[in-house]
Each structure stands twice: as C-alpha cells, then as structure tokens.
Amino acid sequence: MIIPFIDAHVHLNTTSHAKMMKALEYGVSFLSINTDIPFFPSLKEQERVILELQKKFPNQVLHVTSFHNSLPWGTPQWREDVLSQIKKGLDNGAVGVKIWKNIGMDLRTSTGDFIMVDDDHMDPIYDFMAQNNVLLIGHQGEPRNCWLPLDEMTVDSDRNYFASHPEYHMYLHSAFPSYERQMQTRDSMLEKHPSLRYVGLHLFSMEWSIEEVALRLDRYPNTMTDLAERICHLQLQAKENWNAVRDFCIKYQDRIIYGTDVIDDGSMEDRALNNRFEELWKFHYRFFASNEEMIAPEFKGVFKGLQLPEEVITKIFKTNAVKTYGFKV
C-alpha cells in the first residue's frame, strides 16, 4: 500500500487510542467529520472528543465542524447562531464545514414545507464561507436506492442500512422531496455560489452513475468528491463496464478523495474496530491498485481491480486530501 495515506472521511466519536495506534502502523491520517446526526453525540461533544485526540496525536487528525438548527428557521437570530457555531468551529481548528441531509430530508418551515439546501435563507451562510475561503462539504439526499423498495436496491449495504433506518428510507415516505429534487437543489446551490469550494460527499449522492458524477465535476470546477461508503457502487459498475470506471478515475484523478466512513462510536471493541479499518483499507487499495478478480459482500458477481497508475492512486489516497483539507504529510 501507499504509505502514508489519508482516510478522509471518518467519524471519530470516542477518545480510544487503539484506532490511532493502528493508523500509525499504516501511516494513516484521519479526517473526522462532525455531523448533526440524532444518534451521534452532540456537536459540542464531538468537538471535545476530536480536540482531545488532536492534543495526543498532533498532525494525525484533522476535523470538519458543523452546525445545528435549534432556533426558528430563517430568522436573524438563527442566522447569527449558525454563523457563530461555524466561526467557533473554525477557531477550534476545523478545516471545513459540513452540511448534512437533514436539510432536505427532515427540517421544515413553520408552515410544514421542507427546507432545501438552496433555500435563500442559507445564502448568507454560503456567502460567508465563499468570502472567507471556507470549505463546505455536503451530504445531500441519499443513494438513489433510498427511493426504491428493499428488494430492488442494487447493493446490500444500502438494503441493510435502510432496513435498519426506515426513517431515512424514502420509498416509505412519498410525501418527502424526491431524489431528483434533492440533486436539483444541491446543483442549484452550487450554481448560486460558483466561488464556493465544495466537496460532494459519497460521490455527490450520485453513486449509481459515474457519468452523472462526471457531469457535476465538469459543471462545477470548484468541487471535489469523495468515495466514502460508495466504493461498492464503483465496483458494481466495474463489473459491467470496467473500462468506464477506470477511465473515470484517471480522468478525474485530481478530484477524487478516498475515505471509508467508518463510525467509531464505542459500539465495537477496539480490536473489532481496528480489524474493520484494516480490512477496508486493504480491500479498497486492492481494488484500485491490482487487476485481480474480486468479489464484494454488497452484491453478487465477480469484478476486476482497476490497476490504476501509481500516481493516480497516490492522488486518490493522499494528495487530493492534502490539497483539499490541508494535511501535513
């Protein structure tokens, strides 16, 4: 494997040292992404944990901050509160700000309308980030599988997740905004703020089609994308059209960032968590670096590794994260 490399999408919500020692063994640095998720600790607690890890493991962990929406939507008080949260996170060393799918899939106005990511009330937030060169990273919507019945989903990882989280399974919630609207409002936000630096997480939530991802990378030159929890979708497409996936990775080699999306929430013992990291790192690297025939746990069938040039692998696993997030390696 390329050493050192960067796992640029994790959620380190405990101060356990074992994962850090495993990362040191592999020469890995982490980007931990604070997120306003109901089953996560509070954003304040997530920030406390990451700052403690950074003190004990300097230069090995960077983090992204986020914000909650506790005040009435769109009011001047709400705007000032969100900006205050963002500024405090940046003052604590955050290298960017995350906006999560609760905007578009959960939060509503006082009249019951869904708040979408391109809502005009968000413009001052985006303007502040653009004017101050603050990176925005976004998880908008969900995989397209989210809008399909379980037995029509393309990969088991989605099927298992949405079976466990029916509150996010949009096939069951027809009154919620459609997948197409989620993608359109994300695109609208980028069009309204062309100077905003943005990372479209999870392959822009367009994991089902590298052609659609490519369209966004072409249309919005200030954007990057990451692979977190979506590599199996690349593998599925490689099963059907290996050349297209390989060509996509080579063409956009400067725009793709590696990450696993592993959640460290204390539910796994240290050994199990470390095994999870180790298995994913090796399996993912093998997919990008070798030309071996492989199988994935998320779907049936055989696909072949992409055997990318070493300089492309280095960019995906390290250089692009250094460039985007400011790692020192």
CA–CA dist 329, 321 (Å, integer): 10
Q: Is the pLDDT of residue 1 over 90?
A: no
Q: Report the predicted TM-score, pTM, of the whole model to 2 decimal places.
A: 0.97
Q: Does 165 have pLDDT greater than 90?
A: no
Tens-digit pLDDT profile for residues 61-86: 999 999 999 999 999 999 999 999 99
DSSP state letters, 215-241: HHHHH-TTEEEE-TTTHHHHHHHHHH-
pLDDT tens for each residue of 302-313: 999 999 999 999
Q: Is residue 46 a contact partner of residue 12, using CB atoms and an 8 Å limit?
A: no
> Structure tokens of 254?
């400067």
Is the preceding peptide bond at 4 cis, omega within 30 degrees of 0?
yes
Q: What is the pLDDT of residues 42-54, one digit of tens each?
A: 999 999 999 999 9
Q: φ, ψ for residue 304 (rounded to 5)?
A: -115, 145
Query: Tell me: the pLDDT tens digits for 189-232?
Result: 999 999 999 999 999 999 999 999 999 999 999 999 999 999 99
Distance CA 195, CA 223 (A): 10
CA distances from 214 to 22, 197, 240, 256 (A): 34, 17, 18, 11
Beta strand 97-99 with 223-226 is unpaired
Read off the pLDDT of each residue in 9-31 and give the average, rounded to a whole number: 97
Backbone angles phi, psi at 63, to 5 degrees: -145, 160
Q: What is the mean pLDDT of residues 259-282?
A: 97
pLDDT above 80 (res 110)? yes
pLDDT above 90 (res 329): no
Q: In angstroms, rounded to a whole number, what is the distance separating the alpha carbons of residues 273 and 260?
A: 12
* pLDDT at 2 (0 to 100): 81
How far apart are alpha carbons 238 and 69 in whole angstroms?
40
Specify the pLDDT at position 142. Answer: 93
The DSSP output letter for 196 is: -
What would the DSSP string read from start to end of 61-113?
EEEEB-----SPTTSHHHHHHHHHHHHHHHHTT-S-EEE-THHHHT-B-TTSP
pLDDT band at 171 (very low <50, low <70, confident <90, very high): very high
Q: What is the rounded average pLDDT for all residues in the chain?
A: 97
Q: What are phi and psi of 34, to 5 degrees?
A: -70, 135
**244/118 Cα distance (integer angstroms):** 32
Give DSSP secondary structure letters for 112-171: SPBPPTT-GGGHHHHHHHHHTT--EEE--S--GGGGS-GGG-S-HHHHHHHHH-GGG-GG
β partners of residue 5: 28
Smallest CA-to-CA distance from 200 within 139, 123, 127 is with: 139
pLDDT band at 234 (very low <50, low <70, confident <90, very high): very high
Angle in degrees, CA 37, 41, 44, rounded to 5: 100
Sketch out the chain's domains with CATH numbers.
5-145+179-228+247-277+310-325 (3.20.20.140)
Band of residue 268 on the pLDDT scale cut at 50, 70, 90: very high
CA distance 43 to 34: 7
Average pLDDT for 100-113: 94
